[in-house]
Amino acid sequence: MSVLDGIYLLLGLMFAAAAWFNLHDRTNPRHLRRALFWALYAATFLFGSWLPPFVVGCLAIGMGLLAGIGGLGKATAVEAAPAQRQAAAARFGDRLFVPALLIPLLTVAGTLLLDKFADGWVAAKDATLVALGLAVIAALAVGLRMLRQPAAVPLAESRRLLDAVGAVAALPQLLAVLGALFALSGVGQVVADLVGRFIPVESAAAVVAAYCVGMALFTLVMGNAFAAFPVMTAGIGLPLIVKLHGGDPAVMGAVGMLAGYCGTLMTPLAANFNIVPAALLELPDQNGVIKVQIPTGLALLLVNTLLMYFLVFRF
């Protein structure tokens, strides 16, 4: 079992605690559904490394059906009273920031250290994830000591926040599944062929515009610029911009990817960036963050297209 597996086990226990609290919460008439949802999610973390993929698939589909048909009811856990929070804030002062800032600082430090020294027991690609996990554990230990809180408080509070986020908590993972099935069924190639069919290839400007806008559009549909890049670059970037018009591949690649990021700003399919924060910040509109990002996304897409047009044929 790797270190990362250990962190997934702890995460599973956290989801299991959320299920437990909901199971005993009679104020939500749908408390059993909510408890079952978190229990299924907990199971994918507690046993996910050992269960056959088919079983995990059934659990995940079950979560989708549970949330989608009938719903999980309203979140009932309430925040501590404002007066109590004010009093605690006055008592602890700026010390409250210490555990909060420890998470990003230790994650950064841990990533750098694990990259260097953890050959063998933490895979390089997992360094940031393991560092984040360890940073949270350290921040939790510091926070519990500093604030003299009972150990049940962090679990009850994580249940409150998880319930506030709701089923959307699992959406990024389900969208990654969708991406995998898109790849399995060759959706990317079909979209690239469609885009490729409509471009006047002899115009350098049209080719650049098609590539940049295509990257953004493809990202809108797939939710991920990394999925769009190989497909659009094979379909338009390399054959038309580089080979036919003599463009520079470095400029094309760099600016093309960033044009894709403009699409990421505008799609609900990039749930971890767009839908999850709307839930975390308890916005009434699920698309609230996207709406704010659209003007910047569009303006920047135009800038990227112009940048590529003026730079790609010059170097």
Partner 1 sequence: MLALIGVAVVVLGFALRLNPLLVVVAAALATGFAGGFDVVTIVSEFGRAFTQNRYMALVWFTLPVIGMLEKNGLKERAHAVMARVQGATTGRVLTVYMLIRQLTASLGLTSFGGHAQMVRPLVAPMAEAAAENRYGELPDGTRNLIRAHSAATDNIGVFFGEDIFIAMGSVLLIKGYLEQNGYVLTPIQIALWSIPTAVAAFLIHATRLWWLDRRLKRELERQP
Considering only residues 238 through 277, tell me which ones interact with partner 1, judged by CB under 8 A.
238, 242, 249-251, 253-255, 257-258, 261, 264-265, 268-269, 271-277
Taking the least distance from each CB to partner 1, the nearer of 28 and 274 is: 274
Give the other-Cβ count within 10 Å of 192's Cβ: 20
Binding-residue pattern over the window 211 to 230 for partner 1, x denoting contact by CB under 8 A: ----------x---xx--xx
Does 76 engage in binding with partner 1 (CB under 8 A)? no
- Using the rule CB under 8 A, which residue among 233, 236, 241, 309 binds partner 1? 233
Minimum Å gap between C-beta 280 and partner 1 is: 5
Taking the least distance from each CB to partner 1, the nearer of 200 and 248 is: 248
The two tokens of residue 47 are: 């046993």
Count of residues binding partner 1 (CB under 8 A)? 146
Give the other-Cβ count within 10 Å of 292's Cβ: 12
d(CA 219, CA 262): 8
Q: CB–CB of 221/174 below 8 Å?
A: no
Q: CB–CB of 237/210 below 8 Å?
A: no
> Between residue 282 and residue 301, which ones bind partner 1 under the rule CB under 8 A?
282-286, 288-289, 291-293, 295-296, 299-300
Minimum Å gap between C-beta 110 and partner 1 is: 9
Q: CB–CB of 215/221 below 8 Å?
A: no
The two tokens of residue 206 are: 């049209």
End-to-end Cα separation, the chain, in angstroms: 49
Does 303 engage in binding with partner 1 (CB under 8 A)? yes
Taking the least distance from each CB to partner 1, the nearer of 51 and 206 is: 51
Number of residues that this document lists for the chain: 315
Minimum Å gap between C-beta 182 and partner 1 is: 6
- Using the rule CB under 8 A, which residue among 120, 181, 198, 314 binds partner 1? 181
DSSP 47: S
Minimum Å gap between C-beta 32 and partner 1 is: 18
Distances (CA, A) of 239 to 214, 219, 242, 308: 15, 20, 6, 16
- Using the rule CB under 8 A, which residue among 3, 123, 178, 206 binds partner 1? 178
Taking the least distance from each CB to partner 1, the nearer of 210 and 289 is: 289
d(CA 271, CA 293): 14
